[in-house]
A and B are shown apart, each in its own frame.
Chain A
Amino acid sequence: MKNEPIISLSHVTKRIGRNTIIDDLTFDVPQGEIFGFLGPNGAGKTTTIRMIVGLMSITKGQILIKGKNIKTEFEQAIRHVGTIVESPEMYKYLSGYHNLVHYARMVPGVTKERIDEVVSLVKLEERIHDKVKKYSLGMRQRLGIAQALLHRPSLLILDEPTNGLDPAGIRELRDYLRHLTRTEGITVIVSSHLLSEMELMCDRVAILQRGKLADVMPVQDFTQGNEQAQTYLIQAQPPEQAVAAMRDMEGIKEVKLAQGGNVEVTTERECIPDILEGLMKNQIRIYGVQMVSQSLEDRFLEITGGGPIG
């Protein structure tokens, strides 16, 4: 059981009119993984998520959730899924509690105790009986999480879950997702435009581009990249002289003046001591050296060839 994927997409295609929105997506997500979905605006992230949860029809291919086909066995398949859509829209004229009762009634086996449990989990006890229209965005997000967890799903799908959350809220969400995957073995699929967040959150990421799967890889591979050269930031005084001095040194792939009087240099790790020694010989004072790991964002832009991220 452990190795059977919680969700598996095979040759999933979505056409609307003549446009192919999603083109032949195939991937599996095993249990307990946090799987990230990246792609520029219009790449088809949201469409894919909507097909997974049955909000949109699938033109070709199939999606299996715990072995159940979302198209033909919708009720059995969706039972295992909890979803948080970008901004969780709740019934504003109902209290938070009644919103949860509403969703609880739609799944067999969700007890009153479970509702209370979830409410305390997202720390909404004090305000749960207030009308949702009086909630702040952060509270609505938390209520959104609560409704997704009510029925103890095996698969949690989050579409832009960090929208509208402040940094503390994002961090809380991240820790909480980690906790869920570790302790309850929940699988998470998350899409976000905050790449740095994805970097911290996900085990694996998939990059979608124009409806096609550009790449799927573990997030570490992603950020570390394949090449040996790394970029370092050197705080040196005066920086202009440092740049001039480094131009003549060996093993340097690129050097330029960075913001705040720093020097950005791309080189191999082994060359760093020699570079520093050379700079000191040139009477340049060094205050610090820092490795700049290539971020997901850089890699992302590299793969997708720039363009807006969303």
Chain B
Amino acid sequence: MVNLVLNENMKIYRRVRTWILVGLMAAFVLFVNFIEWHSDGKQAKGEGWRSELKQENRQYREILKQPKLGEEDRAFYQEQMALNHYHLDHDIRSTDGTMWDGVNGSASLMIVITIFVIIIVSDSVAGEFSSGTIKLLLIRPASRVKILVSKYISFLLFGLLLLITLFVISIVVNGILYGFGYMDLPLVSMTADGQIVERNMVINLWKTYMLNGISTIMYVTMAFMISSAFRSSAMAIGFSIGALFAGNIVLEALQRFVWSKYLLFANTDLTQYLDGHPFQEGMTLSFSITVLVFYFLVFNLISWLLFTRRDVAA
């Protein structure tokens, strides 16, 4: 089994294509962070954060005076104000103007990781068929299930590599742009029951990574299924990335139907439970996890059935 994973890794990393993707990943992080720093990060440097927070709170107070403000928005601004007060009272600077602002912002680039892993995954099974190497692969004393599992593990490792690239580069580039100060700055946030707590910035960051990673895993599993089912990498890439982007649009259109909460897209983003605004009333974290586990099992079952049962003729 270890050998099979080594094989799959060899097929991933001894290809120029893979390193182009890793390079692109690094380039994206650099580019996005530089633009961000250039457009507004620069001003917040130094000790200006106090006046900025005070300014923000004044704005929020004005907004909260509006009678027509929705309940959700009201709660949001009240929470922001409470957090800003906490910063000022405890003399903890906000992340604005520190490297953490950029580092946390870079977490949104996880979507690039999803796309890149989908590209590699889609080609992994379909590519073996289109190049004909599948014939020599399946006539070895390794069952098809083992081969499938080893491929799956290799994708997770590749995703992890991209994630570490994202993490390291975003730390380094933001450190250079904003200075490596405030390393131990805590993240001030509010828990679901209204308590303000200080959290470790790095741990929180990895928590965000992992929650976003679940969505990556779901789309990758989907790409893997399509790749095994249709043996076409173009189809797998197209469908999966299409689903990734179209998912939210479809969701918005379907939100009024109760059953839409059972859709994959409604549950992939688990961070919706961090800020307490789920897609539909009554959805809970355990509900989403159950739905995700169901899709995960179905996708893998289909991949497994199609990959292990089918005749290799071509």
Q: Which A residues contact B (CB, under 8 angstroms)? A: 16, 47, 50, 53-57, 74-76, 78-79, 81, 83, 85, 87-94, 98, 101-103, 105-108, 147
Contact = CB atoms under 8 A, between A and B. Distances in A.
A106 B1 CA distance: 9
A98 B8 CA distance: 12
B85 interface: no
Main SS at interface, chain B = helix
A98 B14 contact: yes
20 contacts: A47-B313, A50-B313, A54-B138, A54-B139, A55-B311, A56-B312, A76-B141, A78-B139, A78-B141, A79-B141, A89-B133, A89-B135, A92-B131, A93-B14, A98-B10, A98-B14, A102-B10, A105-B3, A106-B3, A107-B141
Q: Which 3 A-B pairs have the closest CB atoms?
A: A89-B132, A106-B140, A105-B3
B142 interface: yes
Contacts of A16: 311
A291 to B, nearest CB: 43
Interface of B: 3-4, 6-7, 10-11, 14-16, 131-133, 135-136, 138-143, 309, 311-313
Task: Give the interface centre of B136, B309, B311 by most chain A CB atoms within 10 Å.
Answer: B136
Contact of B15 (A78, A90, A93): A93
B140 A55 contact: no
Main SS at interface, chain A = loop
A55 B138 contact: yes
Contacts of B6: 105
Contact of A107 (B132, B140, B311): B140
Nearest to B147: A106
A105 B136 contact: no
Contacts of A56: 311-313
Given A92-B131, A93-B14, A105-B3, 4 more contacts: A76-B141, A85-B135, A102-B7, A106-B3
A79 B141 CA distance: 5
A148 B289 CA distance: 46
Given A89-B132, A98-B10, A55 B312 contact: yes
Contacts of A55: 135, 138-139, 311-313
Given A55-B312, A106-B3, A106-B7, A90 B139 contact: no
Nearest to A51: B311
A90 B136 contact: yes
Contact of B142 (A75, A76, A98): A75
Contacts of B311: 16, 50, 55-57
A76 B140 CA distance: 10
A55 B14 CA distance: 27
Nearest to B18: A93
B136 A89 contact: yes
Contacts of B131: 89, 91-92
A94 B143 CA distance: 23
A83 B10 contact: no
A102 B142 CA distance: 12
A259 B309 CA distance: 55
